Amino acid sequence: MFWRGKYTPLAADDVEGGLKNPVRLSNWLMLRRVRTAIVAIVLLLLLAVLLFQYPDLNERVREYAHNATASAPAVCDCPTAGSNGNLPGNVNDTLSPESSMQWSDFAYVQYVTNPSYLCNSLMIFEALRRYTTKAELLMMYPQEWQIPVEINEGAEFETKLLVKARDEYKVQMAPIQVKTFQNEKDPTWQDSYTKLLAFNQTQYKRVISIDSDGTLLDNMDELFLLPSAPVAMPRAYWMPEKFFLSSQLIVIEPSEIEWKRVGYAIDHHEGHDYDMDILNKLYGKSSTVIPHRRYDLLSGEFHDTEHENYLGSPNEKWDPKVALEEAKFVHFSDWPMPKPWLEPLPGMVDKNQPKCRKISTETNEYDCTDREVWLGIRKNFTERRRHICGREYDAEARPPKKRTLADARAGRPWYEPVFD
Ligand SMILES: *[C@@H]1O[C@H](CO)[C@@H](O)[C@H](O)[C@H]1NC(C)=O
Ligand SMILES: *[C@@H]1O[C@H](CO)[C@@H](O)[C@H](O)[C@H]1NC(C)=O
Ligand SMILES: *[C@@H]1O[C@H](CO)[C@@H](O)[C@H](O)[C@H]1NC(C)=O
Ligand SMILES: *[C@@H]1O[C@H](CO)[C@@H](O)[C@H](O)[C@H]1NC(C)=O
């Protein structure tokens, strides 16, 4: 039986469940109204009793609502850079007066395994200080490396950089045991696991790992305030595999449980799995996804003619200057162009720089903005490297290696590993 609003006499077939008598039906309706009225009266009475018993209920509800709003972790409530005149990264800057989290619970983490990456990491840390991050800075370094209390004249290049990180950029230094695999000869492959030791840095509630072979264009402090999740990563938007996550930027909640999972996956890795493959296996379906746009732009994007994958739609027009301006992180992926700390061989830049685009066939006009932006990013990297580490290049580039058939057969990833 369903309610039809006002009582209307029902046709016999409409009636089910034995309510065949219209008189008895109207009685029932009346009864139902009566019942509703009784329930309403009882509820009102109850409410009155409640209000009588707790005259301050109204106030308490308001206070509760106020507390809830006040303690909500509002992203717009982020402290602005230098607004309080504190030194950048002052650990006692709390997120908001009501939050139990402190900026000292958060750190940007870098790992170093060789002198090139040591300098790259320093450049990331220098940028984070320049962009006045509120979080701490953490460097994981091989425990065999000695860091003297004070630097003397004859100190080695690496030693100077380590001391500079600690003393000038106020970086926390975490000695780690770099994992080596007996059967594996490829050192680049072995190093890629070191990044994952960030899961074990449980002295922090959240860490952000940023690949050091890139240029940081802003701090990313807002990512520390993402809703809680073991990991958050952007998508590797350049890969044909849909939904594959990029490990160039990882927001991690270090914990014993997650570190055990990751450690187990490292010890039982399959074939030539890199850190990125492992993370996708473990977190591919559950990771928070950070927008790749702004947070993980490949320098190779300035070579491309299609930008739908990066921009997220075919509707927007690619503007290289706007893309650079809005980006917070640009990762150097320009294969076969070498990484920017390797001195290009003669002709390499000319051959591999982005092409100018013809904008008019009549006037023969060209637009070279892509090229200018791309060259600018590399020039900026080189200048900062000289300034921060005292040298522009670590070595001369080698002619690019080709991906061999053996690589393909062994299932080695075609995408560019971090170490090159
Ligand atoms: C609201 O916050 C104040 C101060 O922290 C606390 O004393 C009070 O009990 C809170 N009220 C409620 C309803 O949670
Ligand atoms: C930060 O807080 C800690 C513990 O609350 C305190 O020991 C330290 O002196 C504070 N540092 C600054 C710079 O205020
Ligand atoms: C993980 O962290 C713990 C505690 O700091 C440390 O004892 C352990 O050696 C670390 N594990 C690895 C593989 O570095
Ligand atoms: C590199 O670029 C950044 C961001 O545009 C700028 O702030 C910095 O001054 C540049 N550094 C050099 C050495 O050109």
The alpha carbon of 376 and the centre of ligand 4 are apart by a number of angstroms equal to 10
The alpha carbon of 387 and the centre of ligand 4 are apart by a number of angstroms equal to 11
Is the pLDDT score of 158 beyond 70? yes
Question: Closest ligand to 94 CA?
Answer: 2
Is the pLDDT score of 372 beyond 90? yes
Q: Is the CB of 383 inside a 6 Å radius of any atom of ligand 4?
A: yes
Start-to-end CA span in the chain (Å): 75
Residues contacting 222, CB < 8 A, separation 6+: 75, 78
Assess whether the previous peptide bond of 79 is cis (omega < 30° from 0): no
What is the structure's pLDDT at 5? Answer: 36
pLDDT in tens, 19-69: 444 456 556 656 777 788 888 899 999 887 776 666 565 666 666 666 665
The alpha carbon of 173 and the centre of ligand 3 are apart by a number of angstroms equal to 14
Is the pLDDT score of 392 beyond 70? yes
Please, are residues 208 and 219 in contact by the beta-carbon 8 Å criterion?
no
Distance CA 39, CA 18 (A): 27
Is the pLDDT score of 267 beyond 90? no
Q: Which atom of ligand 3 is nearest to the CA of 197?
A: 14
More confident residue, 415 or 64: 64
Is the pLDDT score of 86 beyond 60? no
Q: Give the pLDDT mean for 5-31.
A: 48
% of residues, the chain, pLDDT over 90: 55
Distance CA 305, CA 317 (A): 11
More confident residue, 390 or 68: 390
Among 54, 64, 67, name the best residue to mutate to test ligand 1's pocket (greatest count of ligand atoms within 8 A of Cβ): 67
What is the structure's pLDDT at 56? Answer: 61
DSSP run (H or E) holding 145: none
- Give, in degrees to the nearest 5, the angle at Cα 78 between 74 and 80: 155
pLDDT in tens, 207-220: 999 999 999 999 99
User: Which residue's CA is the closest to the ligand 3 atom numbered 4?
Assistant: 200
pLDDT in tens, 141-152: 999 999 999 888
pLDDT in tens, 191-208: 778 999 999 999 999 999
Which domains, and CATH codes, for the chain?
A: 1-37 (no CATH), 102-292 (3.90.550.10), 298-409 (no CATH)
Instruction: Indicate the pLDDT class of residue 364, thresholds 50, 70 and 90.
Output: confident
Instruction: Indicate the pLDDT class of residue 371, thresholds 50, 70 and 90.
Output: very high
What is the structure's pLDDT at 359? Answer: 87
Distance CA 318, CA 310 (A): 10
